[in-house]
Structures are given as C-alpha cells and as structure tokens.
C-alpha cells in the first residue's frame, strides 16, 4: 500500500483542521501495536487510531470501535500518564517523510506547562509509535528496538530520539525542476524514471512516481518529467487533494491515493471527501476481505476435496462404460451361435457365421472357448451381454448423479468467490452441513450461526424496477421458488454456475434497458464474470421448476429466450443498490 509522504502530507493538514486545539479525553490500546486516542475539539469527540502493524501501519480518524483488554498494556499506561488532558498544538511531517509528530501541551506533576510529542513512523515492518519528552528523550515506545534488532538506531526509554536514516533522499517539496532533471539523468541509460524518482525523493511511492511520469506529455524526456514532478508537488502544497481507493477487478481494496491517479481506470477508483474516511474504509474493507478469505479458505478446501473425489469417480465410471460398450456385440454373437448351434463343432476356438441382421449376410468371425460346448459359448455371450447392459445402466446413472454433484460443488465454489460478508459465508457453511459435506456442530454454534442471515442483493434498474440477485444456492431457491411471483422474470447464465436473478415485473412488460441490466447482473454474479458474450437465459418465473430430489439451487426451465452480454462492472456500479 502506498501510504507515502504525499498522502501523509494531505492527512496532516486534515488532522490539523479537525483536531488542533482539542484535548485528550481517553487513551486505549485494543491491539498490541495499535493505539486509540479520543480527542474532544469544538464540541465533538474524534477517535484517532495509530497503528504500528507490520502489514497495516497507519494514522487516521476512525469510526471503528474495538474491544479493549481487561487491563491496559504498559505503553497505554505511559500514554495515559503523560498525555491525558493534554491539548494538541502541532501536527508536523518532517521532510515529507512517512512520519507524523503530534505535539501536546500538558500540565506536568508539579503544575508546570510541558510539551510531549507522540511520533508515528509508518515504515512497514519497522513502523513504530514513540512518545518523547520536551528534550527529545524517549519516554517509551510501542516497540522497543535494541542493538540485537538494529545497530544503527535504538528506540528505548531514556535514549535521544533520532529520525530513521534518510538514505540521502531529497525533500520533493523543495526540489526545483532543474534538480529533478539532474536526478533523472540515469534514465538515459534505460533505467526506469519512476524507480529513480521513488528512490531519490522522500515519501514518493512507486505508484506516485508512475503517476508523475504518466502525466508528462512525453514521459521519456527528463525535462517533461521534471516539469510534471514540480507541477504535481505544487498541487500537493496547494492542498488540491481528492482521496481515492483503488480496487482490484474482484472489488478488493488494493491501494489508496491522495488524488485521482490517471494511470488507473476510473471505474476502479472510489472517491472520498476526507483522507480519514478513505483510510477507515480501506482498512475496514481490507480487514473484512481478509477475514472472509480466512473463513472461506477452509470451505474451499472441503469443496475442492469433494470435487477431486467426484472427478476420480468419473474417470472410473468412464472406464467401466468403455469396457461395457461391446454389449450389443455380445448379444449378436450369442444369437448367431444359437441359430447355428448344430453346425459348430465342439472344441473349436472360433467360428465364421453369416450375420443375418445385416443385408447381404456378411460373414463374421466369433471367438469361442474350446473348453465349452457351442451352447455354453452362447450362454457365456448372453451373460456378458446382460452384465454389460447392467453396468451401462448403472454407470450411466452414477455418472449422471456424479455430474450433478460436480455442477453443485462448482456452484458452491462460485458462491464462495462472491462472498462479501461473513453472514454469506455462514449460510454456505450451513448449506454444506445440510448436504452432509461438513459434520454437524454443537447446538450453541448452530444457534449462533442461525443468527447470521443475509439477504439477496437488491438493485434498482434505470427504469425503477427491483432486481434481486441470490448470493448462494439456498438463497437462490428461496428467491426463485418462494419470493418471486409467477410473472416475474427469471434470469440465469446458460450452462454456467451463477446466481438466480429476478426482475420484479408487477405483471407489466419489462423494458429492454432493465432486461440488459439484469442480464449483466446475472453474468457479473457468475463464473463468466470475466468472459465476453456470456449467454443468459430468461423466462417468466412460472416456467422454472425444481425436480424432486435436486440439490439446492438446481432448477429446470423451458420456453425461454437467450440474450448475450459482456459483464460490465461500470454498469453494475451505476445501478442503485439497496442491500
């Protein structure tokens, strides 16, 4: 994530405007590397989160409340001792680094006015939160760094606080165009200019450097890139920010930027009014996605294990059918031997007989077991025929059932890939329990699980019609077979695992725009999400029925039409969503 100096510059101005002059009313430490500070300013309470997490270091205002441990950790106690009741007087970002310093005025033990500084260093696994006194001495840190961890810089109580090594980088806010052009000289030898910028200037991430290069009209020339660099940081110093979150093609939050970066497609960028709103949403969403991934990973393994079992069974069934494909030949041999039984000598190992079942009676060679009589050979072929027919019938039925299970399990995988909430995962887990893929749990766990229910996606079409999209197989059944009216329109991708989609028609004709939007939703919430020209079948709900004994989500339908669409995320995002 590019929580770089540019983003921190904008965030610092935002925190100044919101918090400066406010007083600390509460300090908590819900995680071993995370601090929450409540600051009251201008009649409002604000919750400031500071995290030194190796994977998610950050500082911003948050709406999220976390459960605190029964007893406060030592660092939290130190902060309470030194900062409680203190007034925030300064927010600083030294040299455009990924460091913020918060200065607090407090009344010390003897009643004198003193200043304490809370420093957060946002530097990946080296991130830290450090409290220093007025003389710059470290009072404590959320992570102690001694000589065993770093010989260059120790972070321990009663040590002078010093900044992390700058690595010779230049402050981009003070750089002139000619300075930037000079630094970019190595690009003439083929070195990536974005890499040069991010390695030469403090707080400039690779993404920000790439955006600067992209904004240059001729991004292969030093002067143009240098001019773009200076223009970009003039925009930064003028506080022209528009915080955005970058999502990947599956909707997962991938990065956060201080403004719209034109190197990314606009459909992948979500804008926010403040940095804190963007950061809060980013980390809550990412945390949510990671929790869902953790919960679905176990279910994915169970489903894939069962799929592998089904595939192995299919291979064996196909092998058995291959062996039994000569059934008709065995019957023919038996009948021809019976018809010519008195012409066949005993002890023969084969016989050539005319095939009466074909025109011109072609001669056919029939292998015989010389240890058997002709009658016994005939009976042997009839037994083989009977066995082959039985095998064919049984294996064909087994294959049909096996293929239905494969289709069902693949639909479960598709539903798991679409989960956006923990309740979605819980419902799929319950479905797998009901179908016997997961062992029944305790009554307490089942009761807890039953409390977590989700509803279908609910969209409003451009024409104002309700469009419902199921999230899992059981929900698909309820949506199609119980919630939908007979004349509502039902949609589903043809021969592709996906969600049931219902257009609530109100017994009126469906406009073409709504039909296209619903078909796009059916394709988007299917295994064909990233394909083109996805076929979507549609028909009135009354033409859809569920065969007896069919698994959840499995239906048959007739008198339908097919429409072809290419799934469009922009169309999905353009529709109003109610849940």
Summarize pLDDT for 2-18 with one digit per residue, the tens: 688 999 999 999 999 99
Please indicate whether residue 138 or residue 252 has the higher confidence score (pLDDT).
138
In a domain, 392, yes or no: no
- Tell me, yes or no, whether 570 and 488 share the same domain: yes
Q: What is the pLDDT of residues 330-341, one digit of tens each?
A: 888 888 999 898
User: pLDDT band at residue 442, thresholds of 50, 70 and 90?
Assistant: low
Q: Residue 382's pLDDT is what?
A: 92
For residue 26, the surrounding DSSP H or E stretch is strand 23-31
> Please, what is the Cα angle at 171 between 168 and 177, to 5 degrees?
110
Q: Residue 444's pLDDT is what?
A: 44
What are 464's two structure tokens?
Answer: 């104002």
pLDDT above 50 for 451: no
- Tell me, yes or no, whether 121 and 38 share the same domain: yes
- Tell me, yes or no, whether 182 and 238 share the same domain: yes
Q: Residue 508's pLDDT is what?
A: 94
In a domain, 487, yes or no: yes
Q: What is the pLDDT of residues 368-412, one digit of tens each?
A: 999 999 999 999 999 988 888 888 888 888 888 889 999 999 999
- Tell me, yes or no, whether 11 and 137 share the same domain: yes
Distance, in Å, from the CA atom of 472 to the CA atom of 355, rounded to the nearest integer, reads 57
SS3 state of residue 167: coil
Q: Residue 447's pLDDT is what?
A: 45
Q: Residue 103's pLDDT is what?
A: 97
In a domain, 265, yes or no: yes
Among 252, 281, 310, the domain-final residue is 281
Percent of the chain with pLDDT over 70: 97
In a domain, 294, yes or no: no
- Tell me, yes or no, whether 121 and 193 share the same domain: no
- Tell me, yes or no, whether 20 and 106 share the same domain: yes
Q: Residue 286's pLDDT is what?
A: 80
- Tell me, yes or no, whether 123 and 251 share the same domain: no
Please indicate whether residue 222 or residue 533 has the higher confidence score (pLDDT).
533
Other C-beta atoms closer than 10 Å to the C-beta of 432 total 17
Most trustworthy range by pLDDT among 108-117, 195-204, 436-445:
195-204
Distance, in Å, from the CA atom of 480 to the CA atom of 270, rounded to the nearest integer, reads 33
Percent of the chain with pLDDT over 90: 67
- Tell me, yes or no, whether 571 and 488 share the same domain: yes
Q: What is the pLDDT of residues 262-306, one digit of tens each?
A: 999 888 899 999 999 999 999 888 877 777 888 899 999 999 999
Please give the tally of structural domains in the chain. Answer: 3
Domain that holds residue 545: 457-577
In a domain, 255, yes or no: yes
- Tell me, yes or no, whether 118 and 185 share the same domain: no
Distance, in Å, from the CA atom of 133 to the CA atom of 143, rounded to the nearest integer, reads 17
Q: Residue 159's pLDDT is what?
A: 94
In a domain, 399, yes or no: no
Most trustworthy range by pLDDT among 350-364, 435-449, 497-511:
497-511
User: pLDDT band at residue 490, thresholds of 50, 70 and 90?
Assistant: very high
pLDDT above 80 for 466: yes
Strand spans (E) along 99-252: 99-107, 113-121, 128-132, 138-141, 244-247
- Tell me, yes or no, whether 10 and 105 share the same domain: yes
User: pLDDT band at residue 253, thresholds of 50, 70 and 90?
Assistant: confident
Rg (CA), the chain: 35
For residue 297, the surrounding DSSP H or E stretch is helix 275-323
What are 184's two structure tokens?
Answer: 């970019």
- Tell me, yes or no, whether 123 and 61 share the same domain: yes
Q: Residue 124's pLDDT is what?
A: 87
Among 263, 281, 299, the domain-final residue is 281
Task: Supply the CATH number for residue 45's domain.
Answer: 2.30.310.10
User: pLDDT band at residue 329, thresholds of 50, 70 and 90?
Assistant: confident
Helix axes 422-434, 374-417, angle to 10 degrees: 160
Most trustworthy range by pLDDT among 220-234, 325-339, 444-458, 497-511:
497-511
- Tell me, yes or no, whether 233 and 110 share the same domain: no
Residues 6+ apart with CB under 8 A from 376: 369
In a domain, 219, yes or no: yes
For residues 137-154, give the mean pLDDT.
Answer: 91
pLDDT above 80 for 448: no
Q: What is the pLDDT of residues 179-237, one digit of tens each?
A: 999 999 888 777 889 999 999 999 999 999 999 999 997 767 888 999 999 999 999 99
Among 118, 141, 164, the domain-final residue is 141
Q: Residue 112's pLDDT is what?
A: 85
Q: What is the pLDDT of residues 29-62, one digit of tens each?
A: 998 999 999 999 999 999 999 999 888 899 999 9
In a domain, 400, yes or no: no
Least confident of 17-21, 250-254, 410-414, 539-543: 250-254
SS3 state of residue 447: helix
């Amino acid at each position: 994530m590019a929580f770089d100096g540019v983003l921190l510059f904008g965030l610092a101005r935002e925190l100044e405007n919101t918090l400066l002059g406010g007083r600390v009313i509460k300090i908590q430490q819900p995680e071993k590397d995370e601090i929450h500070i409540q600051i009251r300013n201008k009649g409002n309470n604000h919750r400031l989160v500071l995290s030194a997490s190796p994977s998610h270091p950050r500082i911003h205002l948050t709406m999220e409340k976390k459960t605190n441990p029964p007893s406060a950790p030592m660092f939290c106690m130190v902060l309470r001792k030194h900062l409680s009741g203190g007034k925030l007087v300064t927010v600083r970002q030294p040299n455009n680094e990924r460091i913020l310093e918060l200065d607090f005025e407090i009344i010390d033990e003897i009643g004198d006015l003193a200043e304490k500084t809370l420093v957060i260093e946002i530097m990946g696994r080296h991130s830290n939160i450090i409290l220093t006194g007025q003389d710059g001495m470290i009072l404590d840190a959320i992570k102690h760094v001694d000589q065993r961890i770093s010989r260059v810089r120790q972070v321990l109580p009663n040590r002078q606080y010093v900044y992390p090594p700058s690595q010779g980088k230049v402050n981009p806010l003070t750089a002139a165009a000619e300075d930037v052009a000079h630094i970019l000289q190595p690009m003439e030898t083929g070195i990536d200019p974005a890499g040069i910028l991010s390695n030469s200037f403090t707080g400039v991430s690779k993404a920000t450097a790439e955006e600067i290069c992209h904004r240059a009209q001729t991004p292969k020339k030093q002067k143009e890139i240098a001019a773009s660099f200076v223009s970009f940081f003039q925009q930064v110093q003028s506080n022209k920010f528009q915080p955005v979150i970058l999502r990947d093609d599956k909707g997962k939050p991938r990065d956060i930027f201080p403004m719209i970066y034109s190197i990314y497609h606009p459909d992948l960028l979500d804008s926010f009014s403040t940095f804190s709103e963007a950061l809060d949403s980013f980390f809550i969403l990412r945390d949510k996605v990671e929790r869902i991934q953790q919960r679905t990973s176990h279910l994915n393994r169970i489903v894939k294990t069962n799929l592998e079992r089904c595939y192995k069974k299919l291979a064996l069934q196909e092998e058995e059918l291959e062996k039994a494909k000569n059934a008709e030949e065995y019957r023919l041999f038996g009948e021809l031997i019976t018809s010519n039984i008195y012409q066949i000598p005993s002890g023969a190992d084969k016989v050539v007989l005319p095939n009466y079942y074909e025109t011109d009676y072609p001669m056919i060679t029939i292998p015989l077991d010389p240890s058997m009589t002709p009658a016994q050979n005939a009976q042997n072929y009839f037994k083989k025929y009977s066995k082959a027919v039985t095998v064919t019938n049984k294996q064909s039925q087994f294959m049909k059932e096996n293929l239905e299970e494969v289709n069902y399990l693949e639909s479960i995988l598709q539903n798991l890939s679409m989960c956006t909430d923990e309740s979605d995962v819980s419902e799929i887990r319950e479905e797998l329990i009901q179908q016997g893929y997961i062992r029944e749990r305790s009554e307490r766990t089942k009761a807890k699980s039953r409390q977590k229910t989700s509803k279908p996606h609910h969209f409003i079409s451009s024409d104002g019609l309700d469009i419902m999209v199921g999230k899992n197989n059981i929900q698909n059944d309820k949506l199609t077979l119980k919630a939908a009216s007979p004349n509502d329109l039902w949609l589903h991708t043809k021969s592709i695992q996906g969600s049931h989609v219902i257009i609530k028609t109100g017994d009126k004709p469906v406009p073409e725009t709504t039909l296209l939007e619903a078909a796009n939703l059916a394709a988007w919430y299917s295994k064909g999400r990233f394909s083109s020209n996805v076929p979507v079948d549609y028909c009135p709900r009354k033409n859809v029925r569920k065969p007896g004994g069919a698994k959840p989500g499995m239906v048959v339908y007739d008198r339908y039409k097919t429409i072809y669409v290419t799934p469009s995320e922009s169309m999905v995002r353009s529709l109003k969503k109610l849940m």
